[in-house]
Chains A and B, each alone.
Chain A
Amino acid sequence: MADYKPNEMMTIAAARALKNDDVCFVGIGMPSAAANLARLTHAPDITLIYESGTLATRPDILPLSIGDGELCETAITTVSVPEMFRYWLQGGRIKVGFLGGAQIDKYANLNTTVVGPYDKPKVRLPGGGGAPEIATSCGEIFIIMAQSKRGFVDKLDFVTSIGHVTGGDSRQKLGVKTKGPTRLITDLALLEPDPKTKEMTVVSIHPGVTREQIQENTGWPVKFADKVAETPAPSQKELDVLRDLHARTARAHAA
């Protein structure tokens, strides 16, 4: 079996979740790595959209920012930011939104705003950006986040963007018609919402990871599905493509 890091497993597992015919709204960082890995492996025709307005972009390296020139040059067209958010996101033309966050709770609500009280924050984070509307306007949401007690918390300090709110049908009751978070991909496991309670539930554990490890890195009592699979280990091809992509990117960003 190939040697790999937990972060590589996470990115590869996230890439596998994307399909060739998906239209995906991509956030910067790990979502961008996963979405481009999908495009460079099993999903060559996937449509990737970045909030800078670049539609169907095919970057050779990962962008450092959401609007690098590489995204614009390889896109089918680039629209203004108001058009991006009005016609494309709010208009319901995006199937999958890919998000990350600083904190997540068991219903996959996300915080990227503050740690501590809003008026006197312990840590002021960058804020929501596109996330509040991505979370409700995309057909479904995939979340990629490394697991830790600091990040996987019982109660968020601030709800920047909603997932399944307080569980059950609470999301629909707010008038939201989209599915919300259908997959949470971590460095330890894959989680999906319980069909009824909507609590994020472990459905697959990455090779070599234990249930205890998952619990130790989660701030609430973790639910495991009746049948928990083992995530297939990264293939050599997946690892090679991902590592090449990161190497190309590092060289370009050093310039």
Chain B
Amino acid sequence: MARITSLAEAVGAAVRDGDTVAIEGFTHLIPHAAGHEIIRQQRKHLTLIRMTPDLVYDQLIGMGCADRLVFSWGGNPGVGSLHRFRDAVENGWPNRLAIEEHSHAAMANAYEAGAAGLPCAVFRGYIGGDLPRVNPNIKYITCPFTGEKLAAIPAHRPDVAVIHAQRADRAGNVMIEGVLGVQKEAVLAAQRSVVTVEEIVDELPEQRSLNACVLPSWTVGFVAEVPGGAFPSYAQGYYPRTNSFYKQWDEISRDRESFQKWMKDNVLDKGPEVFAEHVRRFRTAAE
């Protein structure tokens, strides 16, 4: 059953040094507050899985939390490079970062296979390109019925999945709306999970769709209420994406010193409560 705790307690209990961690959210509902908590608790030697390692992974990589990255697209969406990710890959700063690189289709299939309890994902992909040459985890399987050669990669089975959602009820049932990404699959594929939510409510909305995306409480590890916890990403129905911050990040992260200063001022010396401040202007605007 899900335990409702503080974010610090959830991360402290669920995320351990050396873990394989999947922090997910496809543009939407990216758990930035939880990422910052992992940095504050100085987790080391993590293998980070994520389809689109954007700002939150740039920060974890730049702060030396990660030894390895499993991913399919590493950029600042619509803006350009991830400078800390590039510095790690190109120059080994702050440490060498091993990479296992896939396509989106492969990553999505691998999460789904993990959620389904399968050892590998099978799909039609990687035909003709160079990724299979540089990633030994891309192999092939022959369909026993048609003889078609299909790509196979290992299922994602992270030690811990970290996601953000709009709401949970007091029992810890978690409801996600909007762009769903691979969050449901990531949580079901993982051994442990941390879910931050905009709010904990007495009951999930009665008018919800009969097919709403809900992670029942027995599938969830820890739930922590962190209003604004996805900022500068967004939470559909709560606040929009702060596109201007994604553009600012390009400058902040470009050199090592300005990055470290920003991390000290905004992460190391702060707590998850600052996220509510970041999105307060949207809340006021809505009222």
Contact A126 B128 (CB under 8 A): no
Q: Is B51 an interface residue (CB 8 A)?
A: yes
Contact stretch, chosen from B13-21, B35-43, B84-92 = B84-92
User: Can you list 15 pairs linking A and B with CB atoms under 8 Å apart?
Assistant: A51-B104, A64-B78, A69-B28, A82-B111, A86-B108, A90-B125, A121-B89, A126-B74, A129-B72, A132-B103, A162-B127, A162-B129, A175-B149, A176-B128, A253-B247
Q: Secondary structure of the A side of the interface?
A: loop
Contact B131 A80 (CB under 8 A): no
Contact B123 A67 (CB under 8 A): no
Task: A54-B179, A128-B103 are known; give 15 further A-B pairs, CB within 8 A.
Answer: A52-B28, A64-B246, A67-B26, A67-B27, A69-B241, A78-B179, A85-B105, A86-B109, A124-B90, A125-B81, A126-B73, A130-B103, A130-B105, A136-B127, A158-B130
Q: Lowest 9 CB-CB distances: which A-B pairs, in order?
A: A67-B27, A126-B75, A65-B77, A129-B73, A64-B78, A162-B128, A132-B103, A133-B105, A85-B105
B 55-76 binary contact with A (CB < 8 Å = 1; else 0): 0000000000000000111110
Q: Is A241 an interface residue (CB 8 A)?
A: no
What distance in Å separates the Cβ of B269 from its nearest Cβ neighbour in chain A?
27
B-side residues, CB < 8 A to A, are: 26-28, 51-52, 71-75, 77-79, 81-82, 85-86, 89-90, 101, 103-105, 108-109, 111-112, 123-131, 134, 148-149, 178-182, 184-185, 213, 234, 236, 240-244, 246-247
Q: Is A207 an interface residue (CB 8 A)?
A: no
Query: In the complex, A51→B81 CA distance in Å?
Result: 20
Which residues on B sit within 8 Å (CB–CB) of A69?
Answer: 28, 178-179, 234, 236, 240-241
Which residues on A sit within 8 Å (CB–CB) of B72?
Answer: 127-129
Contact B243 A165 (CB under 8 A): no
Contact B101 A65 (CB under 8 A): no
Q: Is A89 an interface residue (CB 8 A)?
A: yes
Contact A72 B179 (CB under 8 A): yes
A-side residues, CB < 8 A to B, are: 28-29, 51-54, 63-69, 71-73, 78-82, 84-86, 89-90, 113, 118-119, 121-133, 136-137, 158-162, 165, 171, 174-176, 252-255
Known: A132-B129, A175-B127. Is A28-B77 also a contact (CB below 8 A)?
yes
Which residues on B sit within 8 Å (CB–CB) of A123?
Answer: 86, 90
Contact B179 A52 (CB under 8 A): yes
Which residues on A sit within 8 Å (CB–CB) of B240?
Answer: 69, 255
Smallest Cβ-Cβ distance to A65: which chain B residue: B77
Query: In the complex, A13→B184 CA distance in Å?
Result: 40
Which residues on B sit within 8 Å (CB–CB) of A63?
Answer: 78
Contact A118 B134 (CB under 8 A): yes
Contact A252 B105 (CB under 8 A): no
Contact B103 A80 (CB under 8 A): no
Contact A133 B180 (CB under 8 A): no
Query: In the complex, A254→B149 CA distance in Å?
Result: 47
Contact A81 B123 (CB under 8 A): no
Query: In the complex, A53→B181 CA distance in Å?
Result: 8
Which residues on B sit within 8 Å (CB–CB) of A171?
Answer: 128
What distance in Å separates the Cβ of A81 from its nearest Cβ neighbour in chain B?
5
Smallest Cβ-Cβ distance to A118: which chain B residue: B134
Q: Looking at the complex, which one of B27, B103, B108, B148 makes contact with A84 (CB distance below 8 Å)?
A: B108
Smallest Cβ-Cβ distance to A137: which chain B residue: B124
Q: Looking at the complex, which one of A29, A66, A80, A132 makes contact with B125 (CB distance below 8 Å)?
A: A132
Which residues on B sit within 8 Å (CB–CB) of A126?
Answer: 73-75, 81-82
Query: In the complex, A160→B135 CA distance in Å?
Result: 13
Q: Looking at the complex, which one of B71, B74, B182 makes contact with A81 (CB distance below 8 Å)?
A: B182
Which residues on B sit within 8 Å (CB–CB) of A137?
Answer: 124
Contact A67 B73 (CB under 8 A): no
Q: Looking at the complex, which one of B104, B129, B180 makes contact with A78 (CB distance below 8 Å)?
A: B180
